[in-house]
Amino acid sequence: MPSPYRALFAAPGSKGFSAAGFLGRMPLSMMGIGVVTMISQLTGRYGLAGALSATIALSAAVIGPQISRLVDRHGQRRVLRPATSVALTSAAGLLLTAHRGGPDGLLFLCAAGIGTVPSLGAMVRARWAALYRGTPQLHTAYSFESVVDEVCFIFGPIVSIGLSTAWFPEAGPLLAACFLAAGVFLLTAQRATEPAPHPRARHGGGTALRSAGLQVLVATFAATGAIFGAVDVVTVAFADEQGHKGAASVVLALYAAGSCAAGIVFGLLRFTGEPALRWLLGVCTTAVSMIPLLLVGNLPFLAVALFVAGLSVAPTMITTMSLVEEHVPRAQLTEGMTWVSTGLAVGVALGSSVAGWVIDAAGARAGYGVPALSGAVAVAVGFLGYRRLSRPVPRRGGTLEQHSEREERHVA
């Protein structure tokens, strides 16, 4: 591992909470696809399977920021364990109901309950921010966590689908629930690195979404999420049309691998310019990378195009988290990061739905118009909101205070 990453883990407890966060994030890429695989095997009803997966995603998008808001006020341990208990109980109910052929209404109720799963990525990033706020190491930490995200999305679906098809239908979601339980327990057991809670009285009880900069980031990432959701669905359909449906997982893994590689390199770099400008450049590059997909004629070309497209994903995500840390009060940092993930999740759900409709109407190649159009929307929102992101923000316990302190020390 390059030296900046080795130095990152010199802080006491950093290896422990990062490993726990990795375990706890695996369900993010395993649960939805695991439920689809399980339900399709048990009932043969793909419509029901997709609807349940969408219910889980949308429920998490609605409930997730509220969970994180409570975490900011009361601390990770006090909130994460009860919330995770609800999610695990709901997951158990879903598996048992599906296994016994229970009513659809109960399946949807349990799927909605799984949405109480906490955003472990935001929890871990908040711990890194508490350790390295105002230092170059925070950029490296965010880069590392983006790489971890991509690793989860490369291997999670493969493990989940493989277990459910080779062992028994419920195996994928069951393992995802086990990862969640282990990750949350191990993370919350590490009290020394847990960020200090900020009671309601200290920031007025308002939502982090009041920040104009955060609004821009969430809106842009809703469009970016539509790119990701559409690419997944259209790639599976395109591979099916080519007679190699099984190759879709490999092609999509290359998309994530491109992002992973870029994230590693990006974490080694040091930037001095405006982060908002880097963010806008990343959004534009992500959008432009969708254009070659409109020209795909075979799977090898698609694989290369998606790998190249993935190179802009992690750097954009890393810069986004840095901007959240800059524009959201420190007392609401976890909630702010979760709102970005929420925008992404909503976009994924919309993108996959619209792409499915286009595929049914005009075929898979036409479906790649959806991520291209979504990219154009992301660029438009990014340009319209750029001034909000580049404008200095008066901090209420946030990072600009730290920047000012560093500048004063430097001058002194």
How far is the CA of 379 from the CAs of 4, 219, 341, in angstroms? 32, 11, 18
Residue 117 located in a structural domain = yes
Contact 112, 381 (CB under 8 A): no
Residue 305 located in a structural domain = yes
Q: How far apart are CA 252 and CA 406, in angstroms?
A: 42
Among residues 360, 250, 370, the alpha carbon closest in space to that of 306 is found at 250
* Same-domain pairing of 250 and 185: no
Query: Six-digit token pair at 62?
Result: 């609605």
Last residue within a domain, chosen from 194, 216, 249: 194
* Same-domain pairing of 227 and 188: no
pLDDT on residue 412: 31
* Same-domain pairing of 70 and 180: yes
pLDDT on residue 384: 92
* Highest-pLDDT range among 35-39, 87-91, 167-171: 87-91
The CA radius of gyration of the chain, in Å to the nearest whole number, is: 21
* Same-domain pairing of 225 and 340: yes
pLDDT at 46 over 70: no
Residue 147 located in a structural domain = no
The tens digit of pLDDT for each residue in 361-378 reads 888 888 899 999 999 999
pLDDT on residue 113: 92
pLDDT on residue 85: 94
Query: Six-digit token pair at 211?
Result: 């920040």
In this prediction the pTM is 0.75
Contact 177, 23 (CB under 8 A): no
- Can you give the length of the chain in residues? 412
* Same-domain pairing of 228 and 174: no
Residue 135 located in a structural domain = no
* Structural domain for 92, as ranges: 16-129+157-194
CB neighbour list of residue 240: distance below 8 Å, 6 or more residues apart:
248, 364
Q: How far apart are CA 66 and CA 80, in angstroms?
A: 12
Residue reference for tokens 């349990």: 110
pLDDT on residue 323: 86
* Same-domain pairing of 36 and 69: yes
Q: How far apart are CA 283 and CA 224, in angstroms?
A: 8
Q: How far apart are CA 325 and CA 397, in angstroms?
A: 11
- 200 — pLDDT class (breaks 50, 70, 90): low
Cα 162 to chain centroid distance, Å, stands at 22
Range 274-287 average pLDDT: 90
* Same-domain pairing of 251 and 312: yes
- 398 — pLDDT class (breaks 50, 70, 90): very low
* Same-domain pairing of 166 and 226: no
Q: How far apart are CA 361 and CA 375, in angstroms?
A: 21
* Same-domain pairing of 245 and 189: no
* Same-domain pairing of 190 and 258: no
How far is the CA of 10 from the CAs of 114, 132, 322, 344, in angstroms? 35, 12, 21, 32
How many domains are contained in the chain? 2
Residue 143 located in a structural domain = no
Residue reference for tokens 């349940």: 52
Query: Six-digit token pair at 56?
Result: 């889980």
* Same-domain pairing of 212 and 179: no
Amino acid at 134: G
When mean pLDDT is compared across 57-61, 155-159, 402-406, the lowest value belongs to 402-406
Q: How far apart are CA 396 and CA 56, in angstroms?
A: 34
Contact 209, 215 (CB under 8 A): yes
Q: How far apart are CA 254 and CA 359, in angstroms?
A: 22
Range 330-348 average pLDDT: 80
Residue 202 located in a structural domain = no
Top pLDDT among 310 and 2 is at 310
Residue 112 located in a structural domain = yes
Mean model confidence pLDDT for the chain:
82
Residue 11 located in a structural domain = no
- 205 — pLDDT class (breaks 50, 70, 90): low
Could you tell me the CATH number of the domain that includes residue 395?
Answer: 1.20.1250.20
* Same-domain pairing of 43 and 182: yes
